[in-house]
């Protein structure tokens, strides 16, 4: 019984997932600190006040905390922008640079001249309209 558990835990995808969760949590803390400590004060310096928590709408004795929602929305947009500009964009550029010298793969399909559907390269007749392919 313990042998099966040990094989399950030491399987590659379980360990990869554990590492990804730990690194994701650490990366989340770094991005949150970037937004909270650098980007939000920068917006505060430009606009005047980055904290909207004082904005409240009251109707029939109910308080709508619009400012808290605006703070959460702003934090989400800033975190998404930080992830995009500091992670996604550089990794995409690195992947594009890595693929720069590779030749494109040979096509496996061609278009039928009659119905414009995709058919295999070796096909002599279109499976959709049965026209003869050149």
Q: Which CATH number goes with the domain that contains 13? A: 1.10.1200.120
Element (H, E) at 109: strand 109-111
**Claim to verify: residue 74 and residue 134 sit in the same structural domain:** no
pLDDT per residue as tens digits for the range 111-122: 998 899 999 999
Q: Is pLDDT of 129 > 70? A: yes
Rounded Cα distance between 73 and 79, Å, is 10
Q: Is pLDDT of 31 > 80? A: no
**Claim to verify: residue 78 and residue 116 sit in the same structural domain:** no
**Claim to verify: residue 70 and residue 125 sit in the same structural domain:** no
How buried is residue 120: exposed, middle or buried, by Cβ count under 10 Å (0-12/13-18/19+)? exposed
For the chain, what is the domain count?
2
**Claim to verify: residue 123 and residue 74 sit in the same structural domain:** no
Rounded Cα distance between 35 and 75, Å, is 7
**Claim to verify: residue 93 and residue 131 sit in the same structural domain:** no
**Claim to verify: residue 21 and residue 65 sit in the same structural domain:** yes
pLDDT per residue as tens digits for the range 87-103: 889 989 998 888 887 77
SS3 at position 79: helix
**Claim to verify: residue 92 and residue 117 sit in the same structural domain:** no
**Claim to verify: residue 42 and residue 19 sit in the same structural domain:** yes
123 neighbors 133 (Cβ within 8 angstroms):
yes
Element (H, E) at 63: strand 62-64
**Claim to verify: residue 82 and residue 127 sit in the same structural domain:** no
The domain in which residue 15 lies consists of 2-102
Rounded Cα distance between 60 and 68, Å, is 20
pLDDT bucket at 125, cuts 50 / 70 / 90: very high
Residue 12 has what pLDDT? 67
Q: Is pLDDT of 56 > 70? A: yes
Q: How far is CA 15 from the centre of its chain?
A: 22
Q: Residue for token digits 């703070």?
A: 71
Q: Is pLDDT of 43 > 80? A: no
Between helix 2-9 and helix 12-34 the angle, nearest 10°, is 50
Residue 50 has what pLDDT? 64
**Claim to verify: residue 120 and residue 55 sit in the same structural domain:** no
**Claim to verify: residue 95 and residue 110 sit in the same structural domain:** no
In DSSP terms, which residues pair with 109 in a beta bridge? 120
Provide the whole-model pTM: 0.50
């Amino acid at each position: 019984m313990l042998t099966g558990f040990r094989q399950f835990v030491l399987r590659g995808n379980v360990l990869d997932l554990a590492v990804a969760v730990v690194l994701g949590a650490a990366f989340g803390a770094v991005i949150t600190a970037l937004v909270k400590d650098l980007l939000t004060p920068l917006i505060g310096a430009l606009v005047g006040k980055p904290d909207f928590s004082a904005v409240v709408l009251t109707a029939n004795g109910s308080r709508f905390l619009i400012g808290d929602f605006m703070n959460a929305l702003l934090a989400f947009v800033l975190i998404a922008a930080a992830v995009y500009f500091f992670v996604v964009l550089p990794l995409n550029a690195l992947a594009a640079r890595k693929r720069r010298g590779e030749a494109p793969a040979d096509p496996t399909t061609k278009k039928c001249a009659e119905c414009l559907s995709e058919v295999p390269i070796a096909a002599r007749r279109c499976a959709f309209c049965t026209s003869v392919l050149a």
